[in-house]
Structure 1
């Protein structure tokens, strides 16, 4: 879910037309142009082909122990279908690739596995992107909606001259490294959200402001979106750990189990922050209500002080003539009547203030 021009944009899963044949691939009109990056991996050397063609992919098959094809942009359906034919990918899985917005999941087929994940490709706007990962005996294929991913550390490890597991182990370990990078990329925005919540809390305790409620509500919305992504992600990783398929070796499951632990930790962090956001929103409402009550109390006290003064002013302001009768306010002719009346009213106001203070109403 992202924001544009102050408005929320809801991400909806695309679906094939009603009645379409299973495995029908239909491009999204807004999809980016397809671009292929081919990474060829051996224990002694590696090679990366930018803007690779399908012929490069076909030639690499059988000549390199491990092939990683990264497809960015899903506009060219013909290329997606040809990739599926080259690697023997299941058509139903390819349908999930182009119909973005899928729930994170894992599916196992005869000779390969298919994992759908969501990753944050723009932490500033909390924009999510679907990424699909296929892996078999000697290949890994990834499909991304657009440029930008957390795979740079994995690429650097592959290109490193020092020996490492990514160049000596199989495709399942490379798939683990990519999935682990996606899972770990959630830590930074979640921790940043927690830091932001602490800053808002400190500012709110000093002076509650209206915009703080808006910030908290937006942060809680983002946390809820993360929760909706991380729970199915945990289930998918648990399914991989429990799986008994030939394309995932037992020693690699140990690493997948570590990634599962990371996902569980992320869920715990999200749950904690969600409770924190809810508590801060309730505290903001309480502080705002308390501030309103203080204002109302002050206005009530001021009104209570001025009520008797207003009564006195009203009585002395009546048009009585002391020449008509000695009962018609003879004090109107007093030499010091005006300052005496003001002094008396001040004394009444001070006496009421002291009384309210002793009652702790002020």
Structure 2
């Protein structure tokens, strides 16, 4: 599987200088060193050469029914160009290999098919690695940005003793198996994304989430990134199935249909997640508005209770002298005036509180 984001450097798309001829290959300064692994496949045997050289490739190409060349790391553009010359790969296709960041697509040539795919980072759906696959009648070539891929189950299957469909069939079936492994690598991060959404949903409804909008927008970015990859992936698989290339067998297209179904199911899951996330954003905003309204209502009720009390305190706090006139607040001389005033104000506050409870405003 693709590696987690920890300890990885991020590669940006390498831009070709203005005026450079089409098909110019320029290595990314941060590209990983190029490493070749050659897998030789026949119905009754197989052989793998790690750290393969061009001499290994040229010397074994015509001796085996199917060869699989895996190129990890794109720093050595001279070696990549030499591979292209040996297998007749178009320079523009090789340019798409080196300039990673391509949207999933499929291109058909006279003797081979070029498929560009993206593998998700298992730790975050914000980062993807490009995997490019070329396959013809007797060869499969895979290019990837760096070591680590979802192809280990395929390698183990090739090495399995006894009847083996990967060894018995042609290169198109091996290419299908690799494409299917890339597509299936999305299931785990999509399930992890669903778990994240469920946890955020629970915390929002419980009122325990401290920064819900930050997490919701982060999840939204991951979902939008997934949508931007899965829809082109679906189109590429559909084009691969519809095309009538002679080296893509009819039986292989049946298996590719199953891979297309997987892609469609993932699109449906992502659409459901997007709708759920949209609903959560609306719920969060509604809850925030409701909490704000509750606070405003409480403050309004408190203010309403204290308005008459403040009025009474203001009236009794005026500096009138009852000796000058019987109209100048004679109650100021009352022996029990202070406790009577407090009792009167408490009675008003209690009456208002009872009224609010009766009206169900509290």
- Counterpart residue number, 2:325: 325
Secondary structure of 2:287's aligned partner: helix
CA–CA separation in structure 2 for the residues paired with 1:66 and 1:4:
34
Runs of 5+ unmatched residues, structure 1: none
**Which range moved further: 166-175 or 328-337?**
328-337
- Counterpart residue number, 1:107: 107
**Which range moved further: 218-227 or 112-121?**
112-121
Deviation string, structure 1 residues 62-115 (Cα, Å, up to 9, x no partner)? 111111111011110110011111222122211111111112111111111100
TM-score by length of 2: 0.94
Secondary structure of 1:176's aligned partner: helix
Secondary structure of 1:126's aligned partner: coil
CA–CA separation in structure 1 for the residues paired with 2:189 and 2:274:
14
Q: Residues 69 and 142 of structure 1 are in contact (CA less than 8 Å); yes or no, is this contact kept in structure 2?
A: yes
Counterparts in 2 of 1:187-226, with a 5 A limit? 187-207=187-207, 209-226=209-226
Q: Residues 126 and 225 of structure 2 are in contact (CA less than 8 Å); yes or no, is this contact kept in structure 1?
A: no
Q: 1:313 aligned to 2:280? A: no
- Counterpart residue number, 2:150: 150
CA–CA separation in structure 2 for the residues paired with 1:35 and 1:287:
54
CA–CA separation in structure 1 for the residues paired with 2:229 and 2:10:
14
Runs of 5+ unmatched residues, structure 2: none
- Counterpart residue number, 2:251: 251
- Counterpart residue number, 1:19: 19
Secondary structure of 1:113's aligned partner: strand
CA–CA separation in structure 1 for the residues paired with 2:132 and 2:51:
19
**Which range moved further: 22-31 or 173-182?**
22-31
Q: 1:61 aligned to 2:61? A: yes
**Deviation (angstroms), 1:11:** 7.5
- Counterpart residue number, 2:86: 86
**Which range moved further: 31-40 or 41-50?**
41-50
- Counterpart residue number, 2:295: 295
Secondary structure of 1:322's aligned partner: coil
Deviation string, structure 1 residues 179-221 (Cα, Å, up to 9, x no partner)? 0011011111111111111111111011164511110100011
Q: 1:286 aligned to 2:286? A: yes
Secondary structure of 2:16's aligned partner: coil
Secondary structure of 1:36's aligned partner: strand
Q: 1:358 aligned to 2:348? A: no
CA–CA separation in structure 1 for the residues paired with 2:125 and 2:263:
22
- Counterpart residue number, 1:40: 40
TM-score by length of 1: 0.94
After TM superposition, the runs of 4+ consecutive aligned structure 1 residues lying more than 3 A away are 9-15
Secondary structure of 2:154's aligned partner: helix
CA–CA separation in structure 1 for the residues paired with 2:282 and 2:14:
37
CA–CA separation in structure 1 for the residues paired with 2:17 and 2:268:
38
How many residues align? The count is 357
CA–CA separation in structure 2 for the residues paired with 1:16 and 1:133:
22
**Which range moved further: 85-94 or 183-192?**
85-94
Deviation string, structure 1 residues 276-304 (Cα, Å, up to 9, x no partner)? 11111111111111101110110111011
CA–CA separation in structure 2 for the residues paired with 1:253 and 1:123:
32
